Amino acid sequence: MSHDKKIMVILSSPSGAGKTTITKKIQQKYPSFKISVSHTTRPPRTNEIDGVDYHFISKMKFKSLINENKFYEYAKIFDNYYGTLKANVDGAILKNDILFDIDWQGTKQLSQFKNLKLIKIYLTTENKGELEKRLISRNQNTIDEVKKRLSSYDEDIKHWNDYDYVLINKNLEVCFKQIEKIISNYKTFSTSQIIQ
């Protein structure tokens, strides 16, 4: 893989579709990728580390960053704010490829910055029932949270058209191979040569 052309990959998905595992696999295989660490007002989960999983900040601090126009994008999701700081991206892209784990709202906003060369991938399960099964079996969310996350599945579907690729994660290895292919195509050809 050539390292001279830096790319930005957005990986959106409903939680439970396998995004975290795929993200880790991309980073392990391609050390050139840096994961964009978002700011959020959501409280950390027990296994999460400030500055690694997210920058955890107060709603007041988040709002002041909005007013200072510091975000490339931000969104309110499940009662909390999430956003990508311009300074973090602008610094990282000089040396690294960047992987964004953001939702469709953020994807729409980032797409407006024509200077950013984005590959937009939506990762999902075969259907809503499969997602429900995964959310319940991983046992990380309360029944109410599972319901909320499932209801956002219906909203998310409406925005699949905003993505360059929609991948069904039926088999993790197959799905990862598809992502590798997409990445290596962009690394090999200039984006203007790619027919979408």
- Helices and strands, counts by H and E, the chain: 7, 9
Does position 42 interact with ligand 5GP (CB under 6 A)? The reply is: yes
* Beta carbon of residue 188, minimum distance to ligand 5GP (angstroms, whole number): 28
Q: Which residues are within 8 A (CB) of 99 and not within 5 positions of it... i.e. 6 or more apart? A: 8, 9, 11, 23, 26, 27, 33, 34, 35, 36
* Beta carbon of residue 48, minimum distance to ligand 5GP (angstroms, whole number): 8
* Beta carbon of residue 176, minimum distance to ligand 5GP (angstroms, whole number): 18
Triad 9, 159, 154: Cα angle to 5°: 120
**In this complex, which beta carbon is closest to ligand 5GP, that of residue 36 or of residue 96?**
36
Q: Are 172 and 18 in contact (CB under 8 A)?
A: yes
Does position 101 interact with ligand 5GP (CB under 6 A)? The reply is: yes
Does position 83 interact with ligand 5GP (CB under 6 A)? The reply is: yes
* Beta carbon of residue 190, minimum distance to ligand 5GP (angstroms, whole number): 28
Total Cβ atoms within 10 A of residue 18:
21
User: Using CA atoms, how far apart are residues 183 and 27, in angstroms rounded to an integer?
Assistant: 12
Does position 106 interact with ligand 5GP (CB under 6 A)? The reply is: yes
User: Using CA atoms, how far apart are residues 18 and 126, in angstroms rounded to an integer?
Assistant: 12
User: DSSP string covering 55-77, please?
Assistant: EE--HHHHHHHHHTT-EEEEEEE
CA 137, chain centre distance (Å): 22
By CB under 6 A, name the one of 73, 96, 123, 153 that touches ligand 5GP: 73
**In this complex, which beta carbon is closest to ligand 5GP, that of residue 5 or of residue 134?**
134
Q: Are 167 and 119 in contact (CB under 8 A)?
A: no
Does position 116 interact with ligand 5GP (CB under 6 A)? The reply is: no
**In this complex, which beta carbon is closest to ligand 5GP, that of residue 75 or of residue 182?**
75
Does position 18 interact with ligand 5GP (CB under 6 A)? The reply is: no
Does position 84 interact with ligand 5GP (CB under 6 A)? The reply is: yes
Residues that bind ligand 5GP (CB under 6 A): 12, 15, 38, 42, 73, 75, 77, 82-84, 101-103, 105-106
